[in-house]
Amino acid sequence: MELATYWKISHRTLERWRWLGKGPIFMKLGGRILYSIQEVEAFEQAQRRQSTSGKE
């Protein structure tokens, strides 16, 4: 499954995150960008927040 589709975001957003060093850790194999399920889940867990106040 495409990660952008799963998260309902643009593939350009993922591309920008890779360029900025944000987002889940990825692999580049033969010109293809791949994300392991474990890395995606770890990234999702790291994004959990209690509020939107900006304080951690």
How far apart CA 1 and CA 12 sit, in angstroms, is 16
Residue boundaries of the structural domains of the chain: 24-48
Which residues, other chains included, contact 11 with Cβ-Cβ below 8 Å and sequence gap of 6+? 2, 4
Mean pLDDT by 10 residues, the chain (56 residues): 94 97 96 96 95 76
Phi, psi dihedrals of residue 13, rounded to the nearest 5°: -65, -45
pLDDT value, residue 13: 97
Residues 53 and 47: beta-carbon distance below 8 Å:
no
Q: What is the pLDDT of residue 55?
A: 65
pTM: 0.82
Strands 27-29 and 32-34: antiparallel
- Tokens 């850790």 locate to 25
The owner of tokens 């474990």 is 38
What local confidence, expressed as pLDDT, does residue 56 receive?
58
Give the per-residue pLDDT at 53. 85
How confident is the model at residue 1, as a pLDDT? 75
